[in-house]
Structure 1
């Protein structure tokens, strides 16, 4: 079996798998012989997705309706789906507005979907994945907002920073189980992600953001038309998973940002001696991380 065939015949659960990046990943996976379970909330998107698979002569995925914030529904899926070897936490919302005006409803909605949805999936699905053998992988989809902050996306950015930190830590935890973990951070991609603000649930109606201007939002959506094709993002995601890359970056667009971030971080470090005690603790932390990457299970006692 070649490296590229490792996941052939395995089952992938992709949240939000019937549109945008999720649909791009679903298509790339299906073309590589991976069986699919796709979650959905929009019936029209589900039908379009089913038709694509039929037109391609590919097995039609199993479709499961899911609100990723619904923990009871997650528990039902974990009990009924059977073996899931690949978990792709893709579902999310893109909602923008000035952070200084945000209310609890804004925080609860955006963080609840973008971070809480990932957490719910991990709690529900990891026990079953850990009990399996053979190739398995978790892909948490963040965004370049996991690195690049801006004035109109504070809570969205916070949610993606949170997914980034969670994923980087989770990788250490799952290595002993031979489960790969990747953080996917795509840039601008052709999708309908821009219209999330039009779908705000009633229970989170108390927003502090300015009222949604549909025409202004549609104009913002034209930027997404210039994005990378979602299938290309999916193919790069597949390659990253096969190679077990901890970080999958699909766009070359952000080198300038990364260089500026790196320079700012290094410039902010005080130029002074490090006390021996602190240096020892940091050395232990680095040693523990290296040991974790080699397959060891690390406890708090390893850090002092």
Structure 2
């Protein structure tokens, strides 16, 4: 198969949370398209199952890196291990996360610190640890941050989770402009319902964040919630869509088609909230400079503060 059809052939990707769920789907889709891989994991049984899949396909085994994405020192060591093994790293997929729900008005500091620390802090740690190495590499490179449709659609049981995904969305959409001058692509991925065991996150809460403000969830209630995930998209299909979006250099990758009504409602609400009045010329000029600067950044130009005034 030609490189035109496999443009990522031989590229090295590091994926967090990569031996279950969406992370595994991404890893398998990447492997099928010629990537060499480094995968972070937490559970040895899940790692063993992933090793068996790669063996069954006759693929090179990935570099498996045991990693808690909130551990900055370990993340830095893992970044070095990846370069030591492969020489370069070209792609980072920040995927690891926890799905924990409860009424936000009852949340404790531990609830905030755990969920934000993994879902947003883990992305930050991946960027700080890997971006210098990706910048130093050559050829096609990309950063992909996996958020969620919760980055657009809040819910009454998902305040902190939603906040973490909104944060990943804002960070990624801004980072894209910073990476363009380096020739590095950047994508925000917002998957919806996927066939994973993400609903079990509440059962894996670290002892260091044990003081929750949420009432304990009954096992039967949690298992009932988990049945919704059985209707989800196959993680491999999500992985394929992510790879296709990266190949097409899309800044936003939406994997599920069923959210058109939600976006139409959001758009209508935003437009209705705009004041029906004229803006003064000075403010109009500043906003046009901002728009022009964003377009210039997308073309790969570095933007300075004096470009905005």
TM over 0.5: yes
- CA–CA separation in structure 1 for the residues paired with 2:109 and 2:145: 25
**Which residue number in structure 1 is paired with residue 81 of structure 2?**
80
CA contact (8 A) 2:3 2:9 kept: no
CA contact (8 A) 1:4 1:242 kept: no
- CA–CA separation in structure 1 for the residues paired with 2:81 and 2:157: 40
**Which residue number in structure 1 is paired with residue 159 of structure 2?**
154
- CA–CA separation in structure 2 for the residues paired with 1:107 and 1:129: 31
**Which residue number in structure 1 is paired with residue 9 of structure 2?**
8
Aligned pairs (5 A) from 1:267-282: 267-282=272-287
CA contact (8 A) 2:92 2:143 kept: yes
Cα deviation code 1:225-264 (max 9, x no counterpart): 1000001001111111111110111100111100000000
Aligned pairs (5 A) from 1:1-304: 2-82=3-83, 83-304=88-309
CA contact (8 A) 2:63 2:82 kept: no
Shift of 1:80: 2.5
Cα deviation code 1:50-83 (max 9, x no counterpart): 1111112222111000000000001112222211
Cα deviation code 1:21-43 (max 9, x no counterpart): 00000000000010110100011
- CA–CA separation in structure 2 for the residues paired with 1:270 and 1:195: 44
SS in 2 for 1:215: helix
- CA–CA separation in structure 2 for the residues paired with 1:254 and 1:111: 25
- CA–CA separation in structure 1 for the residues paired with 2:18 and 2:300: 32
- CA–CA separation in structure 1 for the residues paired with 2:149 and 2:78: 30
- CA–CA separation in structure 1 for the residues paired with 2:264 and 2:66: 42
Pairs aligned (count): 304
Shift of 1:2: 4.3
**Bigger Cα displacement from structure 2, 209-218 vs 31-40:** 209-218
Runs of 4+ more than 4 Å apart: none
Q: Please list every run of 5 or more consecutive structure 1 residues that lacks an aligned counterpart in the other structure.
A: none
**Bigger Cα displacement from structure 2, 3-12 vs 204-213:** 3-12
Cα deviation code 1:173-222 (max 9, x no counterpart): 00001000000111100001001001111111111011121111111001
Q: Please list every run of 5 or more consecutive structure 2 residues that lacks an aligned counterpart in the other structure.
A: none
CA contact (8 A) 1:198 1:212 kept: no
SS in 1 for 2:5: helix
Taking structure 1 as the reference length, the TM-score comes to: 0.98
- CA–CA separation in structure 1 for the residues paired with 2:31 and 2:137: 21
CA contact (8 A) 1:176 1:296 kept: yes
- CA–CA separation in structure 2 for the residues paired with 1:116 and 1:37: 20
Taking structure 2 as the reference length, the TM-score comes to: 0.97
- CA–CA separation in structure 2 for the residues paired with 1:270 and 1:67: 46
- CA–CA separation in structure 2 for the residues paired with 1:84 and 1:44: 26
- CA–CA separation in structure 2 for the residues paired with 1:142 and 1:4: 27
Cα deviation code 1:133-171 (max 9, x no counterpart): 200000000000000011000000000000000000000
- CA–CA separation in structure 2 for the residues paired with 1:190 and 1:58: 25
- CA–CA separation in structure 2 for the residues paired with 1:4 and 1:239: 11
